[in-house]
């Protein structure tokens, strides 16, 4: 078998690279698979004003720093767009579109999100020929030309402002009534103050026209139903994003109704050893700082999972002796009393059985895996199979373990 990684990260954005920093620093064999240049959605923007500790840095510069930091601690990176996952094999498999397969003990999904399409006539046909979803990528093609920006959130307004450095005029199409936008007040103020930005209120884009290139935009006033056909050289669409979760098809990983990955506060999915971080997961705030935090959390939790599973394999599953597993918590009085009684019994000295203690408070993976819901619980395992379970054992129950 090829090299087995401790953690393979699908996605090289802020979430994936932050996880790589923490994982590699903890000496986990870590690989980051990047489908594009490192930085993920960061590379779609220019300004970066709200990442704590950096008052004067661009988004591409920050993305570069993320990657260099991860490499400093030994994380490996490779070009490769993940196409499919095999989460049932042991170790797990990550397959890329270029035919490579990577084996890993755990996986972090940090594939981010893609621009949401309007699905209107002309959009697909003219994408790349005047229709764009990235001002940073394409602004230089519209020097001294007239462009339209559809959307009114932070991304739309920020990109409209950025486009004024290149275009002759920028028109922002806003679905709300005049003076109302979804963007933060800071971005709104900057847009209003920019004399190269015009606004079309109460409107949506209905159709894009052009032969080989964008030529016209048909805009509808949602109040009156009036249609306007306006001349534009470029259309930039920023109406939100959709999670990139195609690789999870038929894997059993839980998604919400919008397609985002469902995780707990530890970034754990419903599949053991599989984590999700950043814009691809269900969360209320999608910013670089929250993605980085997700990645750090995922890496720490992943390390706990790997340590717990390795300890379990070595001391329970692979041992020839019968194993008594004691699930307890240092915060539970009954657990402490049961622990005292077990130590007095000296099970390992008086029998050929092994005693393994699992702190359910500090690491809940194994308890969850075995359906341990009450503490303390004692499970007897032989040959990897459960033989007996005692919930909240009495002194007599514990004495019976000597038999």
Catalytic residues: 134, 137-138
Strands laid side by side in the 216-221 sheet: 203-209, 216-221, 227-231
- Provide CB contacts within 8 A for 353, sequence distance 6+: 321, 322, 323, 324, 347, 401
Distance separating alpha carbons of residues 293 and 396, to the nearest angstrom: 48
The CA–CA distances, whole Å, from 66 to 12, 13, 197, 288 equal 9, 8, 33, 11
Inter-residue contact 104 to 91 (CB < 8 Å):
yes
- The vertex-58 CA angle with 185 and 143, nearest 5°, equals 80
Distance separating alpha carbons of residues 51 and 292, to the nearest angstrom: 10
Backbone angles phi, psi at 206, to 5 degrees: -105, -30
Residue where the block lists tokens 């698979």: 33
Q: 318-332 burial by CB neighbour count: b if 16+ within 10 A, else e? A: ebeeebbbbbbbeeb
Distance separating alpha carbons of residues 45 and 43, to the nearest angstrom: 5
Inter-residue contact 144 to 169 (CB < 8 Å):
no
Report the half-sphere exposure of 99 (CA within 13 A, side-chain side): 0
Distance separating alpha carbons of residues 75 and 58, to the nearest angstrom: 24
* Other residues' Cβ atoms within 10 Å of the Cβ of residue 244: 21
């Amino acid at each position: 078998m090829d090299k087995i990684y401790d953690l393979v990260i699908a996605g090289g954005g802020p979430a994936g690279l932050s996880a790589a920093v923490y994982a590699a620093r903890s000496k986990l064999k870590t690989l980051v698979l990047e489908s594009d240049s490192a930085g993920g959605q960061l590379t779609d923007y220019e300004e970066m004003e709200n990442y704590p500790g950096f008052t004067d840095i661009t988004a591409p510069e920050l993305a570069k720093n993320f990657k260099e930091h991860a490499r400093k601690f030994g994380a490996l990176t490779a070009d490769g767009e993940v196409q499919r996952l095999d989460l049932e094999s042991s170790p797990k498999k990550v397959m890329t579109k270029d035919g490579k397969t990577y084996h890993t003990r755990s996986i972090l999904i940090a594939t981010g999100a893609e621009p949401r399409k309007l699905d209107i006539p002309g959009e697909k046909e003219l994408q790349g020929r005047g229709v764009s979803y990235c001002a940073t990528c394409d602004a230089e093609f519209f020097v001294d030309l007239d462009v339209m920006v559809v959307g009114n959130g932070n991304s739309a307004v920020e990109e409209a402002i950025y486009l004024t450095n290149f275009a002759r005029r920028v028109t922002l199409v806003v679905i709300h009534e005049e003076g109302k936008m979804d963007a933060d007040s800071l971005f709104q103020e900057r847009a209003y103050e920019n004399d190269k930005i015009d606004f079309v209120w109460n409107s949506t884009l209905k159709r894009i026209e052009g032969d080989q290139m964008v030529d016209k935009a048909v805009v509808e006033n949602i109040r009156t139903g009036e249609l306007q056909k306006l001349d534009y050289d470029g259309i930039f669409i920023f109406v939100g994003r959709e999670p990139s979760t195609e690789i999870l098809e038929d894997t059993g990983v839980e998604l919400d109704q919008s397609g985002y990955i469902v995780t707990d506060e530890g970034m754990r999915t419903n599949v053991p050893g599989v984590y999700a971080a950043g814009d691809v997961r269900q969360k209320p705030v999608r910013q670089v700082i929250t993605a980085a935090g997700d990645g750090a959390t995922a890496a720490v939790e992943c390390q706990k999972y790997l340590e717990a599973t390795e300890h379990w394999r070595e001391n329970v599953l692979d041992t020839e002796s019968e194993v008594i597993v004691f699930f307890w918590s240092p915060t539970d009085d009954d657990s402490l009393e049961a622990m005292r009684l077990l130590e007095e019994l000296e099970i390992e000295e008086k029998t050929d059985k092994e005693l393994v203690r699992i702190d359910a408070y500090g690491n809940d993976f194994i308890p969850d895996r075995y359906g341990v819901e009450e503490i303390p619980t004692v499970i007897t395992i032989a040959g990897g199979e459960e033989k007996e379970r005692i919930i909240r054992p009495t002194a007599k129950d514990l004495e019976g373990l000597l038999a």
